[in-house]
Every structure is written in C-alpha cells, then in structure tokens.
Amino acid sequence: MRPAELADVETIAELRAMVMRPDLERLGRFDEHRVRQRLRDSFSPQHTSVISADGAFAGCVTLRPAEDGQWLEHFYLARGIQGRGLGSAVLRTVLYRTDADGVLVRLNVLQGSAARRLYERHGFTVEVQDPIDIYMVRLPGAGALGT
C-alpha cells in the first residue's frame, strides 16, 4: 500500500463504479454519473491508501477520522483480485493500527453485498440498517485479526 495522491481520484472513481455497479443495480440505485461523483466529492488522499498487487493498481482503502473513532470507507478491490485473500490482508493491516490506537471503526456496506461477510469475519457487527445500507461497527480488539 502507498499513500494516495490527488491524481489517483479518477482511477479510484472508475474502480468504484465498476465494483459497486452490480450491487447498486440490484438495489435500483445505479447512476453512471453519481457513482463516480460521490467518490470525487468525498475523496481525501491524506486518509486513503492505494493498494497494489503484482506491481499494478489493485484497489484502495480510506480510514477517515471521526468524532468517536474511524470510518472505513472506499475499500474497493478490482474484481480480478477479489477472493485471493488480499482484502483480508489489507483489513488486518488497517485494523491492527486502529486496535493499537484503541479506537472503534465504523463502515457501511450495501444490503446483499458479499463484503459484509469479510467485515463480519474481522469483528464488525451490525449497528443499524435500512433497505439500502447496513451500518457496522467494530470495537478495538474485536474479532480475530489472523483470519
């Protein structure tokens, strides 16, 4: 992983559109422009890491400070990279840092997203949900980081 730069925004916006499209379409929420613009509007390179695999861009993850902990956002991996353990490795790295700082981590995931299982394996639990989003929280040290 490397720190993100402002120049990464369009590459990440394209990845977001590609990765989220199936879930957003299933929920009747896909909009070709909005899916990219939401990333552009909230992109914070100072809190984002770019993920590389085999020397190529593979994804990104954002850990943004919040009033009561951190928000895990914009965690996307290219489709061809998913399912190989990279997401778990990145999540372990991020959570190791938040555990060391003793802070909780929040995130939201779309209803029906396969990513929910990854988060649950790493100690996240459902805090609240609606027909579109599931909001999850992880207390410091919750869940096994070795999975």
Among the listed ranges 23-27, 63-67, 139-143, which one has the minimum average pLDDT value? 139-143
Residue 75 one-letter amino acid: F
d(CA 63, CA 84): 22
Residue 147 is predicted with a pLDDT of 46
pLDDT digits (tens, 9 = 90+) for 111-139: 999 899 999 999 999 999 999 999 999 99
**Greatest CA separation found in the chain?**
39
| 16, pLDDT greater than 90 | yes
Distance of alpha carbon 47 from the chain centroid: 12
Phi, psi of 42 (to 5 degrees): -110, 5
Tens digit of each residue's pLDDT (9 = 90 or more) over 46-63: 999 999 998 899 999 999
